[in-house]
Chains A and B, each alone.
Chain A
Amino acid sequence: MKVPDERDDVLLRRAAKGDESAFLALYRRHQGSLYRYALRMTGSLWAAEEIVQEVFMTLIRQPKKYDSERGEVGAFLFGVTRNRVMKHLERAPREVPLNPQTNSGTAHEPVDLLTPAFWAERKERIEQVRDAVLSLPAEFREAVVLCELEELSYEEAAQKSGCPIGTIRSRLHRGRALLMARLELLRDAPRRASAGGTD
């Protein structure tokens, strides 16, 4: 059965009839980007996993929710994911993960060619950046995630967020400013701590 080149809406129609290969093709095509978006927005592996699962469950249980006249399947899936993410953030705005989380276990770590100290420092820095991104208000965070991490254009980010380009620009501007301040603070913190320790 040929699947890889088929269009999303064709795959969705087949999946709605119970075609597993079509569903898997659709899932594999979109789950990565949706999961990364959810993870970067929530900062929680558990939440990202739940959100992606719910999104595709919706597709299985109510495939007719997708209206081809309103856009592509990918855009529909992103819209559902975004709604779930926003609901999650509203529900648990101050939720703090119990365990420090870095990247997922399924991510591929680069080959360790340099010293372990370098990688330890890098890992720590990545966690700081993650914390800094997560500390941003949701709408600024979304602009940063879409434009800086996903590297989408303003037009694409505006389309995905369902707001005008000017709004995205403004959110990104403020998000960047907050992020820079936060990262400066985190960068200086060890220095301040070590300076305080020597006094």
Chain B
Amino acid sequence: MVLSMNCEEFESIGLDAVSGKTTLSERTAALEHAEKCVKCAALVDSWESARAELVMFAEATETTQAPARVQMRLLQELRAQKRPHELYRRTGMIASWGLAAAALIVVGITWMNWRKGAEHPLVVKNSRALTASKSTSAEQAALVTDEDSGSFTPLPGALPIANEDDSIYQVRMQRASLSALGLPVSGESAADWVNVDLLVSDDGTPQGVRLHQDASDSGTL
């Protein structure tokens, strides 16, 4: 079916129709109207000329490219951007390897300490005390202090490293009470009173024990 078109409609879609941007029936109607209407025919002529010139202009610029120097500048910028990235990557890699090595060392040392602690739960530093201990009770481990160095004997389960925040409490107690701290106490001297220095961590957990000179003379707890 062929549509008929008036001047108003032609003005609206006529040029698109002539350019082939509408349906075939609209194009036919537009061309038919242009044949009859002088004003619209002049418009078509004018547009055809303009369009031909636009096509000529489009063709003259259709293969236009950005100059090669643009590509060169962009590549320079890309390389400049890439450099810090590589540096960060390399630094990051070194840092992560360093951290991994440090972590391994820490784990190794911890494991070794743990093994050591498991093999020797009580530290016996005083050979004199050790002898005395052997003489009184062979199966009990000796718990004495080293008066020369003034160091504490760590309690079972205590952390091996002493903290600066730890406090020392001077306590007078019966030897039997020391068993509550997980220390072995011999039966004969359980009722004896002894002066003891208790090393207590900042959270209140006893970390170590040191017998006073007079108490340690007896050799065992």
Report which A residues bind B (CB closer than 8 A). Answer: 15, 17-18, 20, 23-24, 27, 31-32, 34-36, 39-40, 48-49, 52-53, 56-57, 60-61, 102-108, 122, 125-126, 128-130, 133, 144, 148-151, 154, 173, 176, 179-180, 183-184, 187
How distant is B83 from chain A, measured CB to nearest CB, in Å?
A: 9
B1-37 vs A: 1/0 string, CB under 8 Å?
0000000000010010000010000000000000000
Task: Collect the chain B residues with CB atoms within 8 Å of residue A56's CB.
Answer: 70, 74
Q: How far apart sit A130 and B78, CA to CA, in the bound complex (Å)?
A: 35
Task: Collect the chain B residues with CB atoms within 8 Å of residue A151's CB.
Answer: 58
B85 & A18 in contact (Cβ 8 Å cutoff): yes
Task: Collect the chain A residues with CB atoms within 8 Å of residue B73's CB.
Answer: 53
A23 & B81 in contact (Cβ 8 Å cutoff): no
Residue B118 at the chain A interface, CB threshold 8 Å: no
* Contact sample, A vs B, 18 pairs, CB 8 Å cutoff: A23-B78, A24-B71, A31-B65, A31-B71, A35-B64, A36-B61, A39-B64, A52-B66, A53-B66, A53-B74, A103-B61, A103-B64, A105-B67, A122-B56, A125-B56, A144-B54, A173-B15, A179-B50
A27 & B67 in contact (Cβ 8 Å cutoff): no
Task: Collect the chain A residues with CB atoms within 8 Å of residue B21's CB.
Answer: 154
A125 & B53 in contact (Cβ 8 Å cutoff): yes
Task: Collect the chain A residues with CB atoms within 8 Å of residue B74's CB.
Answer: 23, 27, 53, 56-57, 60
A61 & B49 in contact (Cβ 8 Å cutoff): no
How distant is A105 from chain B, measured CB to nearest CB, in Å?
A: 7
Task: Collect the chain B residues with CB atoms within 8 Å of residue A61's CB.
Answer: 77, 81
